[in-house]
A and B are shown apart, each in its own frame.
Chain A
């Protein structure tokens, strides 16, 4: 078995179809601009009051499901891809870090199980929606510290935001299973973020350059994981920024503010991209 498994070869059964972030972003249509119906809601936040609430929740739940699969795969690969050592070089990780990654693999496997059950409850079939493989791509860095920054801090941080939004959705809708499950998964994600923060600090204790590079990588990933404005403080984003749980997970106020700014920038970028695409097409058509 190779070290460093390519994202293109992620193994899936026949029900799944995969798309890359590039393919996803290439779609010039956007739900964030345009007033074609004349009755577009003022907010995109995922709440039960949205007319498409149950379908939007089902779609997001499927996104969580495939995200958990990739998080499981990523944690598993970190157990395998690096030799056990002191972690000072990019080809080794400390034994205890591997143990944490194995623990995370178990947690993510449980999250996949929970997601399958929840999807069934919500009337979604496995593989019903396309799987965006961006999460595993981030988990494929050759430097384990970058994986911690990208996966545990950025991705699992996003998971905190998503689960908080879904938990609130379940609570407001009175869905007993959704609220219950999201609450449990949220607890695990806070643990994973703390794990990532702790290891990032410990492994790079004597290597400020490597820490800086990792934090820069995290910032890039945070912007990618804002999914073109899907997650931000703005009500135009379906998923909000879960400030309280992020603080519990060890993010500083400054870090949360930076993520908020990056997310808003991603939202604005996406709106500009969509507007430009539509404008370009209108010009071509005329």
Chain B
């Protein structure tokens, strides 16, 4: 499966469509995504939200430019940020495609707590894939949504180290900790 990117040239940011395609191709292969991925980058905003639409024939990703941006060098692209932020959304897509997540609400209906739990689950798996992921960043995010407690920290570590969770299992750990 291959990834495509639009636009191919940018006016507001110094991004490289070819780099994005290469990173996406590697992730699609590593994660076993079974259909083409198209990435549409919105360069008019520095925000970093990423949304996915799963179609029968392809996966469409809408990415705000901040998601791929080098935070040290505004408007320039970071390969690490590109890989991690694509990886996070593609893992959520894979979770939905592979089953066990049928009960999960659509992305835009997930609560902040549910999103934090799922993001933790994705980030932990990306770290084990060898991507550069700052665990403390995700722990802080998880604590903000589950509380600054020992129970929340224990839940975080359970989710971070997990593979093969279903939505029900993920939600149960998250709910018990909050």
| Complex contact flag A–B (Cβ < 8 Å) | yes
Chain A interface main SS type: loop
Given A122-B136, A127-B72: A175 and B144 within 8 A (CB)? yes
Within the complex, the shortest CB–CB distance from B6 to chain A, in Å, comes to 14
Q: Tell whether A86 is near chain B: CB-to-CB under 8 Å.
A: no
Given A29-B43, A31-B47, A120-B136: A36 and B144 within 8 A (CB)? no
Chain A 88-139 interface residues, beta-carbon cutoff 8 Å to B: 120-125, 127-130
Residue in chain B with minimal CB distance to A48: B144
- CB pair B108–A39 under 8 Å, yes or no, is yes
- CB pair A27–B144 under 8 Å, yes or no, is no
Within the complex, the shortest CB–CB distance from A235 to chain B, in Å, comes to 17
Please name all residues of chain A whose beta carbon is closer than 8 Å to the beta carbon of B134 when the two chains form the complex: 123-125
* Whole-angstrom CA separation of A49 from B64 in the bound complex: 20
Chain B interface main SS type: mixed
* Whole-angstrom CA separation of A52 from B115 in the bound complex: 11
* Whole-angstrom CA separation of A111 from B72 in the bound complex: 22
Could you mark each residue 249-286 of chain A with 1 if its beta carbon is under 8 Å from any beta carbon of chain B, else 0? 00000000000000000000000000000100100010
Which of A53-61, A74-82, A216-224, A240-248 contacts the other chain? Answer: A53-61
Q: Tell whether A28 is near chain B: CB-to-CB under 8 Å.
A: yes
Please name all residues of chain A whose beta carbon is closer than 8 Å to the beta carbon of B44 when the two chains form the complex: 29, 34, 36, 278
- A interface residues, tally (CB under 8 Å): 39
Within the complex, the shortest CB–CB distance from B7 to chain A, in Å, comes to 10
Most buried by A among B12, B42, B135, B144: B144
Most buried by A among B13, B62, B141: B141
Given A29-B65, A121-B140: A17 and B115 within 8 A (CB)? no
Residues of B in contact with A (beta carbons under 8 Å apart): 11-13, 42-49, 51, 62, 64-65, 71-75, 108, 112, 115, 134-141, 143-144, 147-148
